[in-house]
Structure 1
Amino acid sequence: MKLTMPRFDQASVLVLGDIMLDRYWQGATSRISPEAPVPVVRVDQITDRPGGAGNVALNIAALGVEATLGGFTGQDEMADALQDMLEGAGVKCVFERLADVPTITKLRVISRQQQLIRLDFEEKSFVGAAHSLLDKAADLLPGCGALVLSDYAKGALAEPQVLISAARAAGVPVLVDPKGTDFGRYRGATLLTPNLPEFEAVVGHCDSELALVEAGEKLMEELELEALLITRGEHGMTLLRRGCDELHLPARAREVFDVTGAGDTVIAVLAAAVAGGAELPEAVVLANMAASLVVAKLGTASVSGPELRRAIQADQGSERGALTLDQLETVVADAKAQGERVVFTNGCFDIIHAGHVSYLEQARELGDRLVVAVNSDASVRKLKGKGRPINPQDRRMAVLAGLESVDWVVCFDDDTPRDLLRVLRPDVLVKGGDYDKEGVVGWEIVEGYGGRVQVLGFVDNVSTTAIVERIQSGEGQPE
């Protein structure tokens, strides 16, 4: 499957659900309390993070997506802390603050990376207020690319059917992270994302993938779901869609440190990708990739847009190095979407010498990514004559790709790179030599769409032609 970075910068996701604060008290412990057989923790670090639906919204915003979060909190300092953190991360908060009800808070006491105790502060007093969330949703759904219902069974989603119906009427896909064993509450949703224990608690034990698929297809039919994604821990994920073959994805994590919040990351990336224009199978692959990144981190964490982009490029073999034109088009478009400046240069690069290295280092400093286009063997022969190139194109490309200053290398057959420039539209076109801008092939193309042309000088007394001539003549190093 060919993966590309969705247009996260043009996506908008609404998250509704149970909002909570995850608070961590951490410190050293070296003795047992004289009052009871428990360790004494000397707290030296206090960390707060949004939890529940708040963590989902935080994950969405980390990808560069416009995220809006609706739910209930108390009128207390925990709610203030949550709103400050979330808005600081770019999440629009539309909290319904209720008097005399504490913001749901989970306090974890940790020492030596071991959780010693968790203290929960909550009252299930949001159920009666759930109707007010429906009013907010009606105002927030228009223009939204996806709706996430993040259910932690705390009462905010006591009436999910009304929310689902409103979203579907507005043409907004609904993704649900379910809780409990009554999945009928989510009838008509676009996608449910239970983990395997949650799924089996509803349909019964599945002793094979065939049994899992059959049970899942039956559940989709009963609940009028478009799709079902079952997350299966170390066994990866299974995506089921009506009228389509199942898609089994293996777990990608090489080393797992902490699975806390991984489910939030999965549904966040799914929603962001769908809102950004991705088809569901591609969105699931991206979510699986993001899950592998987040479980390699300690504590509740999120995956940023650049992290996911680098993972995509590594998966597609296009993070760096020699690429096909199709691969290069994709990564250049993605780099531009992330606000990176793309620099382009071209040449034969038959024998890489100090002049080339210095020139490419200067070119790289003009932007964030450097593309080097290399004339093919046939093109070099046409330009340089019989006996050239000395090194075939695959070796020339391999040497260039190994330079720290070079991001991507591509080969072209034409005499000039004009067609490449029209396709890639780099921000900066660079050429080395002693001539004016108008002497750079393709300058009019680049300036025509608002790009810049830069001429850089070569290192004196160094050229491939001179090196070849000295070798052929048997001369040594010039004085």
Structure 2
Amino acid sequence: MTQPSIAKIAVFGDIMIDSYWIGSTNRISPESPVPVVNINHTENRLGGAANVALNISKMECPVTLSGLVGVDQHANELASLCQSNHIQTDFVTENGFATIMKLRVISRQQHIVRCDFEEAPNLKPALLSKITDSLKKIIDQNDLIVLSDYNKGFLSDPQALIQYARSQGKFVIIDPKGDDFSKYRGASLITPNTSEFEGVVGKCQDEATLFAKAEKLRKELDLDALLITRSEKGMTLFEKDKEPVTFSAKAQDVFDVTGAGDTVIAMLATQIAKGTPLPQACKIANVAASIVVGKMGASYVTQEELDYALGQSDRPHNLVLSKEALLHEVKRAKMNNETVVMTNGCFDILHRGHVKYLEEASKLGHHLIVALNSDASVKRIKGETRPIMDETSRATVLASLSSVAWVTLFDEETPESLIRAVLPDVLVKGSDYSVEQIAGADAVINNGGKVELIDFVDGYSTSKAIEKIISSSK
């Protein structure tokens, strides 16, 4: 039986590098009354329309990204980041134009300053015509089109793209900018936030005014739908010939709203591409936005995070993470100067010795990771009769301990490859090992971390517990 093809999405828009410089702040500059930030971590991420493409890619949808870049190192970094995240690129390159970069300095989880490196591109009519012809070819090869407008110049006149895409039966979603939305006339859906919407139609003093102006704008622009994102008030969808629908915001500690709009439009695109009705797609996008605002900087939502938030995951516990989700949490912890501790084991039939060991390990830092041998891994090490408790049960019990931050499973006999990926600040093992015997210890030490050996409580072991159970059942 032929498998159905996966719908393909094209993202056109203003692309940029988001650069983060993160460090500690302990004093005020003697030169002027500003904080001195001692930078200890730097990171470049995909920004603008590139972040939209990243969010789509993380939902495992084929995506092509096009936008304007210069002939410079930042363009090379964009290409490399896109390649590593399975994003196909068709960049427009312009000599004399510097790829846009936004630099954020962050300390104690607060933005200290943002520095923008950008200039308006000089897109002459001949080049604009060439770009439009190139983008039309990309439209032909894709099923859904996203225009991510950051008002930087690449989408200054999107009408030719909208009209061509609609004439080919393509769904066109636009994240708009500016005080004139007439340039988006004829789109399938636009997604302004409240501020952007009021910048076009004027202040809305109450719900009734907002609803009336929204429907008026939708009709004037000949849109199939208009979605207004309203922060703590959620989102409201206005569709042709249908009553407005409001999706309440999900309660969430807001850590950083950077890139939340990117996640919304990306989630809408992936859901619509999969055939999800628009109201349901908005509901899912609303949940995704509540996840991403809990992360630092422009970020993305994983399928695992989304499934769990929607109540569709069979994950045994909210602290039992896949390797990808774990690495994301570790990255955030390290950016906040939080110490990551890691240990591993089978933990079959959890007993007092295990609990005491994990409590001592957790005291060595802010977050304790337990790398847990999968059932297949335990069988290879201890034989076919083990484990007594399956991996889901063991993971759930471990994740329920207050001393444990995250649990993750591994299939190998040792967690060496996982340790090398995580590179914890502290690697913990029982004192019956020497440092030389501990898998991954060299990688941790070479990275500036340390290895700690902890004594077990005498008289407690899983083997003894099993022997006692067997003898008592005879």
Q: What's the CA shift for 1:147? A: 0.6
Q: Does residue 120 of the first structure (1) align with residue 109 of the second (2)?
A: no
- Tell me which of 278, 300, 316 is aligned to 1:302: 300
Q: Find the structure with the greater CA-based Rg.
A: 1
CA offsets per residue over residues 20-79 of structure 1, 9 Å max, x none? 111111222333333333232222211111111011111111111111100101100011
Q: Does residue 10 of the first structure (1) align with residue 18 of the second (2)?
A: no
**Partner SS state of residue 79, structure 1:** helix
Q: Does residue 45 of the first structure (1) align with residue 41 of the second (2)?
A: yes
Letter in 1 for 2:187: A
Partner of 2:198: 200
How far apart, CA to CA, are the structure 1 residues paired with 2:395 and 2:69?
50
Q: What's the CA shift for 1:299? A: 1.8
Letter in 1 for 2:77: A
Partner of 2:426: none
Q: What's the CA shift for 1:319? A: 4.2
Q: Does residue 60 of the first structure (1) align with residue 56 of the second (2)?
A: yes
Partner of 1:79: 75
Partner of 1:110: 106
Letter in 1 for 2:393: E
**Partner SS state of residue 404, structure 1:** helix
Q: What's the CA shift for 1:405? A: 8.2
- RMSD over aligned CA atoms reads 2.9
Work out the number of aligned pairs and report it: 330
- Tell me which of 240, 262, 272 is aligned to 2:238: 240
How far apart, CA to CA, are the structure 1 residues paired with 2:395 and 2:48?
42
Partner of 1:265: 263
How far apart, CA to CA, are the structure 2 residues paired with 1:62 and 1:8?
20
**Partner SS state of residue 110, structure 1:** strand
Q: What's the CA shift for 1:406? A: 12
**Partner SS state of residue 140, structure 2:** coil
Q: Is this contact kept in 2: 1:8–1:273, CA < 8 A?
A: no
Q: Equivalences for 1:264-343 in 2 at 5 Å?
A: 264-312=262-310, 314=311, 319=314
How far apart, CA to CA, are the structure 2 residues paired with 1:280 and 1:95?
30
Partner of 2:156: 158
How far apart, CA to CA, are the structure 2 residues paired with 1:72 and 1:320?
41
Letter in 1 for 2:196: E
Q: Is this contact kept in 1: 2:308–2:315, CA < 8 A?
A: no
Structure 2 unmatched runs, 5+: 317-348, 350-373, 377-391, 397-471
How has the CA–CA distance of structure 1 residues 365 and 158 changed in structure 2, closer, same or farther, with 3 Å as cutoff? same
How has the CA–CA distance of structure 1 residues 66 and 284 changed in structure 2, closer, same or farther, with 3 Å as cutoff? same
How far apart, CA to CA, are the structure 2 residues paired with 1:30 and 1:320?
41
How has the CA–CA distance of structure 1 residues 478 and 227 changed in structure 2, closer, same or farther, with 3 Å as cutoff? closer
CA offsets per residue over residues 276-312 of structure 1, 9 Å max, x none? 1111111111101111111111221100122222222
Q: What's the CA shift for 1:208? A: 2.5
How far apart, CA to CA, are the structure 2 residues paired with 1:154 and 1:41?
30
Letter in 2 for 1:12: K
How far apart, CA to CA, are the structure 2 residues paired with 1:203 and 1:13?
30
Identical aligned residues as a percent: 46
Partner of 2:461: none
CA offsets per residue over residues 160-196 of structure 1, 9 Å max, x none? 0001011111111100000011000000000010001
- Tell me which of 393, 399, 403 is aligned to 1:404: 393
How far apart, CA to CA, are the structure 2 residues paired with 1:110 and 1:131?
41
Partner of 1:463: none
Runs of 4+ in 1 over 4 A off after TM superposition: 318-321
How has the CA–CA distance of structure 1 residues 40 and 228 changed in structure 2, closer, same or farther, with 3 Å as cutoff? same
Partner of 2:354: none
How far apart, CA to CA, are the structure 2 residues paired with 1:93 and 1:126?
22
How far apart, CA to CA, are the structure 2 residues paired with 1:118 and 1:138?
35
How far apart, CA to CA, are the structure 1 residues paired with 2:136 and 2:116?
32
Q: What's the CA shift for 1:365? A: 5.2
How far apart, CA to CA, are the structure 1 residues paired with 2:175 and 2:473?
72
How far apart, CA to CA, are the structure 1 residues paired with 2:19 and 2:144?
29
Scaled by the length of structure 1, the TM-score of the pair is 0.64
How far apart, CA to CA, are the structure 1 residues paired with 2:245 and 2:394?
39
**Partner SS state of residue 205, structure 1:** coil
Q: Is this contact kept in 2: 1:127–1:158, CA < 8 A?
A: no
How far apart, CA to CA, are the structure 2 residues paired with 1:143 and 1:55?
21
How far apart, CA to CA, are the structure 1 residues paired with 2:189 and 2:4?
20
Q: Does residue 256 of the first structure (1) align with residue 254 of the second (2)?
A: yes
How far apart, CA to CA, are the structure 2 residues paired with 1:36 and 1:30?
15
How far apart, CA to CA, are the structure 2 residues paired with 1:301 and 1:320?
22
Q: Is this contact kept in 2: 1:73–1:79, CA < 8 A?
A: yes
Scaled by the length of structure 2, the TM-score of the pair is 0.65
How far apart, CA to CA, are the structure 2 residues paired with 1:147 and 1:294?
23
Structure 1 unmatched runs, 5+: 1-6, 322-353, 355-363, 367-402, 408-476
Q: Is this contact kept in 1: 2:23–2:39, CA < 8 A?
A: yes
